[in-house]
């Protein structure tokens, strides 16, 4: 594959951002789809926003937002438009990313809750379980 | 730092010579414990000299099918290397600079992909 020397084998699981994280589906603790990983937020361990190689950096949040336009035309959404899911909530990384919390507790699903409360609930029969 | 600002950024050596582009960023789940999992620690950057995209990862894995695609993408990304995060001198929006004496490593992934 390559004539270059092998890197030391790290103790933890290796994740390449594009290969294993970006665009993956995020499921909540009940298996309900929440959103996809559109980007990642990385900070230095000392909290710095633009860490250099002299200090360790870690993923602090998964980001989701309206990225369709920026993927077509370039650029990225302003920081205020991102919805953040703290890495603290992530419980497993596989084909999908699993969270340890319910989607209702996350800001990223506010639009679904708003439609449920202001639109669906006003439809006759929409405020109770059809069963 | 938003990772999207780092992906596809041009990478230059200590003397300013262009080495390629950041095609992916490698993390390792061995950072400080943060909630239910360890924090993904930024381990290094994958730099490809020829292109800004490497979304299928054929140059990093042993996947050999479909054969035509695997051969094409492995060839297209020949020369891809891993540079450790500690060998990165500075990161600015749209520009990554490596330290003097930086080392290149194989980009191969081990274990399940």
pLDDT digits (tens, 9 = 90+) for B16-41: 899 999 999 999 998 888 788 899 99
Q: Do A53 and B4 touch (CB under 8 A)?
A: no
What percent of chain A stands above pLDDT 70?
Answer: 94
Looking at residue B21, what is its pLDDT? 92
Query: Is it the case that residue B70 has pLDDT exceeding 90?
Result: no
Please tell me the distance from the alpha carbon of residue B101 to that of residue B44, in angstroms, as a whole number.
Answer: 15
Establish if A108 belongs to a structural domain.
Answer: yes
Partner residue opposite A15 with nearest CB, options B36, B40, B84: B40
Domain that holds residue A37: 17-122
Q: Do A63 and B113 touch (CB under 8 A)?
A: no
Using DSSP bridges, classify how beta strands B88-92 and A90-93 pair: parallel, antiparallel or unpaired: unpaired
CB A37, CB A59: distance < 8 Å:
no
Establish if A9 belongs to a structural domain.
Answer: no
Q: How confident is the model at residue B54 (pLDDT cuts 50, 70, 90)?
A: low
Establish if A75 belongs to a structural domain.
Answer: yes
Tell me which residue has tokens 């020397």.
A5
Q: Of B21, B67, B72, B69, whose CA–CA distance to B45 is shortest? A: B21
Looking at residue B93, what is its pLDDT? 73
Q: What's the pTM?
A: 0.85
How close does chain B come to A94, measured CA to CA in Å? 10
Q: Do A18 and B7 touch (CB under 8 A)?
A: yes
CATH number for position A62: 2.30.30.240
Q: Which domains does chain B have, with CATH numbers?
A: 3-98 (2.30.30.240)
Domain count, chain A: 1
Largest distance between two CA atoms of chain A: 68
Is this complex's ipTM strictly greater than 0.90? no
Looking at residue B87, what is its pLDDT? 93
How close does chain A come to B39, measured CA to CA in Å? 6
- Closest-CA residue of B relative to A55 is B86
Contacts of B5 in chain A (CB under 8 A): 76
Query: Is it the case that residue B105 has pLDDT exceeding 70?
Result: yes
Cβ–Cβ contact B25 with A under 8 A? yes
Establish if A10 belongs to a structural domain.
Answer: no
Establish if A48 belongs to a structural domain.
Answer: yes
Establish if A7 belongs to a structural domain.
Answer: no
Establish if A1 belongs to a structural domain.
Answer: no
Establish if A3 belongs to a structural domain.
Answer: no
């Amino acid at each position: 594959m390559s004539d270059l020397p092998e890197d030391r084998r790290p103790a933890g699981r290796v994740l390449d951002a594009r290969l294993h994280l970006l665009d993956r589906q995020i499921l909540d603790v009940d298996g309900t789809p929440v959103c996809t990983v559109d980007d990642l937020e990385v900070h230095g361990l000392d909290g710095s926003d633009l860490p250099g190689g002299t200090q360790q950096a870690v993923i602090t949040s998964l980001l989701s937002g309206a990225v369709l336009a920026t993927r077509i035309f370039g650029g990225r959404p302003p920081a205020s438009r991102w919805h953040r899911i703290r890495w603290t909530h992530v419980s497993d990384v596989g084909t999908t990313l699993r969270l340890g919390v319910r989607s209702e507790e996350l800001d990223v699903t506010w639009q679904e809750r708003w439609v449920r409360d202001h639109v669906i609930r006003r439809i006759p029969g929409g405020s109770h379980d059809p069963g | 730092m938003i990772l999207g600002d780092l992906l596809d950024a041009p990478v230059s050596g200590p003397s300013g010579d262009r080495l390629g582009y950041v095609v992916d960023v490698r993390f390792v789940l061995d950072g400080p414990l943060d909630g239910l999992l360890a924090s993904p620690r930024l381990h290094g950057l994958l730099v490809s000299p020829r292109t800004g995209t490497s979304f299928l990862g054929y140059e990093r894995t042993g996947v050999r099918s479909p054969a035509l695609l695997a051969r094409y993408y492995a060839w297209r990304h020949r020369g891809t290397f891993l540079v450790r995060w500690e060998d990165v001198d500075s990161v600015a929006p749209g520009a990554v600079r490596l330290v003097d004496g930086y080392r290149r490593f194989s980009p191969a992934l081990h274990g399940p992909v």
